[in-house]
Amino acid sequence: MTKRIICIFQTLIVLCLTVTFSFAQKNDRKPNLVLIMADDIGFSDIGAYGSEIETPYIDRLANQGLRFTTFYNMAKCAQTRSSLLTGLYNGGNGAVHVANLTKEAGYTNIMSGKEHFVSWVPDYCKAENAFDHSFYFWATTEYFVPPSGVFSKPFFLEGKQIAPSEIEHEISPMYKTDFITDYALNWLDESFQKEDKPFFLYLPYHAAHYPLQARPEDIKKYRGKYKKGWDKLRKERFRKMKALGVISKNTKLSPPENNLNKKRGPLIPDYTDYYTWDSLTEAKKDSLDLEMAVFAAIVDRMDQNIGRVLNKLEKEGKLENTLIMFLIDNGSCPFYTNKVTDVPPGPANSYWSLRTTWANLGNTPYRQYKQAGHEGGSHTPFIAYWPNKIKPNTITNQPGHVVDMLPTFLDVLDLDYPKTIEGHPTIPFHGQSLLPVFKGKKRKEPDYFISGMKNYRMFRRGDFKIVQMNGGIWELYNIKKDPTELVNLAHTNPEKVKELADYFASSPLGTDRKK
């Protein structure tokens, strides 16, 4: 009997140790990573940041995760993607792609969406070289197949160009945001069936970049909702943003203004200038209501597809161990790019873009637009969701930047930065890990943040920020006291302007401004 009791006791110990080891293994597993990038959407165009546009799935990530009130992109598509994926403001051979890190850590790497880089990004960072699976197009192309039957910029599957007829899709007529997600989900399925490896999914949607094309059922949801006009809607969003806590209590709503960018033409007043809603005819209001309804529909459809990803991960039991991050490449876009002027926005044979007045609504409460270093161009929502790691429904005022993504990946993956890449010494990254912020801690603020394009650059250090328009002289703002850049301090504090300008001149992008 004694021997039998001892045997049972030993068995129980082994079972306990096995369960404990399995539990530890489960909890020590590296997290799956999902990085979602939207395109040309304003700071307030997401529900969780103040919008009336329905984005329940992005809002879920925000309400169950962490929202940043101040997070910077590079104010332009290619520049943001280049810095986001390499951790560099400027680089070349020796740049490290975040997918190089996840590959080193044993992840399955998947990309589906838009690719767009500046010239310094090496070829080995291109999608077909960095990812195990990739489906992408370059820069800008249509949402529906055009009447010509050919997209203006073709799609590539695993590095090989494919015709529209070869693109796999679940819903007809095929729509870009939907089939981008189809490819991502199919590869995730393949990954789940093959082996239990962690995955990195990079999902750079094109929504809501022009052309303004959307499914009729999505447009119908918003038709008529914008007839109250941008003036009233902007005030409504501003009040909601304060109530949500995504802008500080001392924030003032910037007055509406024209698009001051003089180098991105054609400069058509109906698109570049602000005018009051009440000054318009009913016919014009109806046309403008449709324009914004289509934009809202594009954002809505993107959110629906993000929901497909979340539902897939939840169904497969992967969501609990997944870090999901959402952001936008730049502020709302106000540039006239209408190629088809006699067809209203929406269908496949249309080609419209959003105008300044609606972009001003999107960028509430900030000034200016895409390309500009002002907050309206360079400020993005940033949401991080990580069950049991990030405290739900939290908001941080600590500033961050897209160059912080690569060092964050290093921290999460517990990797050292490689010394060489493709035979080149690696370029030291310029960002700083966000993991302390994810954990609810205070991180040491980076020395500076840079955004905007050449001649539209901004440089922020501490509470002060310098910014230029059209290659002009530096403006100066105390961004802590004056987040909407209403009071230019350059004339009263030239010493601070010089201090920041000299600091910028020594930065990785300092050579792009003539002294």
454-504, pLDDT tens digit by residue? Answer: 999 999 999 999 999 999 999 999 999 999 999 999 999 999 999 999 999
Secondary structure class of 202 (helix, strand, coil): strand
CB contact at 8 A, 430 and 508: yes
- Each residue's pLDDT tens digit in the chain (515 positions)? 444 444 444 444 434 433 333 333 344 689 999 999 999 999 999 999 999 999 999 999 999 999 999 999 999 999 999 999 999 999 999 999 999 999 999 999 999 999 999 999 999 999 999 999 999 999 999 999 999 999 999 999 999 999 999 999 999 999 999 999 999 999 999 999 887 799 999 999 999 999 999 999 999 999 999 999 999 999 999 999 999 999 999 999 999 999 999 999 899 999 999 999 999 999 999 999 999 999 999 999 999 999 999 999 999 999 999 999 999 999 999 999 999 999 999 999 999 999 999 999 999 999 999 999 999 999 999 999 999 999 999 999 999 999 999 999 999 999 999 999 999 999 999 999 999 999 999 999 999 999 999 999 999 999 999 999 999 999 999 999 999 999 999 999 999 999 999 999 999 998 775 43
CB contact at 8 A, 345 and 294: yes
> Beta strands 424-425 and 32-38: pairing type?
unpaired
CB contact at 8 A, 485 and 500: no
| CA–CA distances in Å: residue 406 to residues 102, 237, 239, 430 | 10, 33, 35, 9
**Can you give the pLDDT at residue 512?**
73
Q: Is 148 exposed, middle or buried (0-12, 13-18, 19+ CB in 10 A)?
A: exposed
Structure tokens at 266: 């054609």
Taking the model in full, what pTM does it have?
0.93
Q: Exposure pattern of 241-265 as b/e (b: 16+ CB <10 Å)?
A: bbebebbeeebebbebebbbbeebe
Structure tokens at 91: 């680089």
Single out the residue of 405, 409, 427, 408 nearest to residue 418, CA to CA.
427
69-92, pLDDT tens digit by residue? Answer: 999 999 999 999 999 999 999 999
Helices (H) and strands (E) in the chain, counts: 15, 18
Structure tokens at 338: 């209408």
Identify the bridge partners of residue 36 per DSSP, sorted by sequence position. 203, 326
> At residue 501, what is the residue type?
A
User: Residue holding tokens 């959110």?
Assistant: 303
CB contact at 8 A, 81 and 92: no
Q: How far apart are CA 267 and CA 270, in angstroms?
A: 9
**Can you give the pLDDT at residue 14?**
39
**Can you give the pLDDT at residue 513?**
52
Q: How far apart are CA 296 and CA 382, in angstroms?
A: 19
Structure tokens at 360: 């001003």
CB contact at 8 A, 210 and 352: yes
Q: How far apart are CA 380 and CA 374, in angstroms?
A: 12
What residues contact residue 6 under an 8 Å CB cut-off, 6+ apart?
A: none
What residues contact residue 414 under an 8 Å CB cut-off, 6+ apart?
A: none
User: Residue holding tokens 């497969």?
Assistant: 316
CB contact at 8 A, 354 and 291: yes
